[in-house]
Amino acid sequence: MTKLSEDSEFTVPLKNLIALIIATALAATAYFQINQELAHQSFQQDIIWGKVREHEDWIDTFRPPPEVLAAMAKQRELELLLNNLESRLEFIENGHNDGDFH
């Protein structure tokens, strides 16, 4: 059995050496491309989650302007008045116009 030392020599066919170099280069390239894509996806996810948090904050803190609140109150008042008028009209149409309905 031969012992290995720093003076030991071995031979590798040139085509095998080139194949090893190409395989190593491809593996390194693939590793860095995958790593870059993962970093990009992580960055995009952070941006999206930031926007989601912004929108959640906006939804939680949104208050309609006073003009809108006043218009909504007026709309509700008009709806109640319309319902009352419809009830009175129905009462009158049914022949109960004695004046008992208020």
Query: Residue 100: which pLDDT band, with cuts at 50, 70 and 90?
Result: low
The pLDDT value recorded for residue 98 is: 55
Show the 3-state SS of 14-77.
Answer: HHHHHHHHHHHHHHHHHHHHHHHHHHHHHHHHHHHHHHHHHHHHHHHHCCCCHHHHHHHHHHHH
The pLDDT value recorded for residue 8 is: 80
Q: Which tops the pLDDT comparison, 1 or 24? A: 24
Tokens representing residue 44 in the block: 């995009």
Query: Residue 69: which pLDDT band, with cuts at 50, 70 and 90?
Result: very high
pTM: 0.47
Tokens representing residue 5 in the block: 């030392």
Tokens representing residue 86 in the block: 């419809």
Q: Which class for 77: exposed (0-12), middle (13-18), buried (19 or more C-beta within 10 A)?
A: exposed
The pLDDT value recorded for residue 99 is: 54
Q: What is the pLDDT of residues 13-65, one digit of tens each?
A: 999 999 999 999 999 999 999 999 999 999 999 999 999 999 999 888 989 99
The pLDDT value recorded for residue 1 is: 67
